[in-house]
Amino acid sequence: MIKFARLLYVSFALLFIIAISFGLKLSYVLKINPLSKLLESILKFILSFSGVVFVKIAQSLSLKRYLIGERLSKSLSSLQEKSFGKQKSFNYIKKFVKQDFQSNNIDIDVIHQKNILNNNQNFYGKPILILQNKKPDFSGSIANIYKCKLISQENKESFVALKIVKIWLKKQTIADLEIFLSIAKFLNYFNKFKKLELPLIIENVSKITINEFDMQMELNNSYLLKSNLVFKENKHQNIFNFRIPIIYDEFSTKSILMQEWIDGLSLINILNKDQMTLDKKVRHKIAKSIILLYLEQVYNDGCFHADLHLGNIIYCKSQECLYLVDCGNVSQISKKDRMAVAKILYFFIAKNYKKATIEYIKAGYISSNVDVNLFSNELQKLATKAIKSNCDSNVMDVSSVINSVIEITQKFNLKVQPQLLMLQKTILYVEASVYQIDSNFDVWSTIIPWMKQWSWNNSTLKQKIKTIFTKLLRKI
């Protein structure tokens, strides 16, 4: 029943969104600002109240300002930090938290701020969780976050963030994903869409989205990212260190995640609400930090935060660092793939398209039967077009280069590599985040020296020298 009801809703919602999009385009052309603002608000309302999948679409669209325009991009970007839609009452949330703790044998009392005794003493001899507010402090597409006070058995107090999954949205989300998969399978019958591998993309997105409802998955991902971030402390100069909030394993379940409360603001919050002014040096430093984080995570670790928009990065001024939150979507890329992608990107930078083509073949992304000269010429045309796309603003569009790679595979009737889909999405998020923070930031000036150093570190000659010395040391 829910699937049929959602099918009707999704069908009408999609038609309505298409109609509003045409209206917006017309209002922009005719420069009717009042109508544009009204339609932008209606579109944002529909997307934010239509469920998890629609919010994810809105978040993705907000990063494509070259596609939807600067104003609409800024309007939708607020959904990176706050989601709306159906909420449950405070009594429901309080009861849900208590029952979830009890069913997982977690011995803790859950009370509301107004029920605390004046002396604030722990009479129960066990931990107490005090919910500060009746409304969530942050509301994402999949979970709400409440600021709470945790009083330990030893009567020590600390502020924590209690992330509670919107479990009531899970069935609806699964139904929506099944509907979008059916649409993708239908479109797949047409040659124009067949090359895009839409069913494969939807299946990957579905798996990732459903996993985000599991807080144990996010807990494991957080520890995975944290182990790599600790290793990188002070590796680069003049950048902010990234950290992961401390997690309270003993008070976390599949539906609830407890972690330390960070006294800071998300970067999207800072940009949209002007709650904190960032001077040019700080903006530049943040932008550089985000790019280097991406490079380190993807090419050195093979494990990266795959939802790296500004709503998931918190700037903590007092600690002079950046915190990564919402680690539910973490992807891994094999050493073979990251080496291949890095080499292709490196040869793009060096404008050696023939070698880039050879790396495609070596990685198995294209058939060895492909004409190397023809493929490299197409690669050059598309890469040159992508790199020149933003010459007026003195910015080279990295995501356009990555997208050019996908465009070429489609032109040559080659299948999109599923293991690279999240990588493509992440570089789009990263680049959009960087330009939102510092519109004049030159991404290539950071990438080129890093890639050159990476290329040397991973060169065959250096690897051979390291192997020889390792063997000698073992003999000694």
- Please provide residue 30's backbone torsions phi and psi, each rounded to the nearest 5 degrees: -80, -5
pLDDT of residue 476: 52
> For residue 52, how many other CB atoms are within 10 A of its CB?
24
pLDDT of residue 214: 94
- Would you call 19 exposed, middle or buried from its count of C-beta atoms within 10 A (0-12, 13-18, 19+)? exposed
pLDDT of residue 67: 56
CB contact at 8 A, 290 and 320: no
pLDDT of residue 325: 93
Tell me the two tokens of residue 251. Answer: 């008070």
pLDDT of residue 372: 85
Alpha carbon of 93 to those of 146, 160, 214, 247: distances in Å? 10, 17, 17, 21
DSSP string for 110-129 = EEEGGG--TT----SSS-EE
Place of tokens 């957080």: 222
Cα separation, 186 vs 183, in Å, equals 5
pLDDT per residue of the chain (476 residues) written in tens, 0 to 9: 556 778 888 888 888 888 888 888 788 778 888 888 888 888 888 887 888 888 877 777 676 665 566 667 767 766 666 655 667 888 888 899 999 999 999 888 888 765 655 445 555 568 889 988 888 888 888 899 999 999 988 888 899 999 999 988 888 888 888 888 888 888 888 776 666 677 877 887 888 889 899 999 999 999 999 887 755 555 666 788 899 999 999 999 999 999 999 998 888 888 776 545 788 888 999 999 999 998 889 888 888 998 888 889 999 988 889 999 999 888 888 888 888 888 887 787 777 888 888 888 888 777 778 788 888 887 777 666 655 544 444 444 555 555 565 566 666 656 656 667 777 778 777 877 888 888 888 887 888 888 878 777 776 655 655 555 565 555 55
- The type of residue at 466 is K
Question: Would you put residue 274 in left (φ > 0), alpha (ψ -120 to 50) or beta?
Answer: left
pLDDT of residue 158: 92
Write the pLDDT tens digit of every residue in 250-299: 999 999 999 999 998 888 888 776 545 788 888 999 999 999 998 889 88
pTM score, whole prediction:
0.79
pLDDT of residue 390: 46
pLDDT of residue 10: 83
pLDDT of residue 396: 47
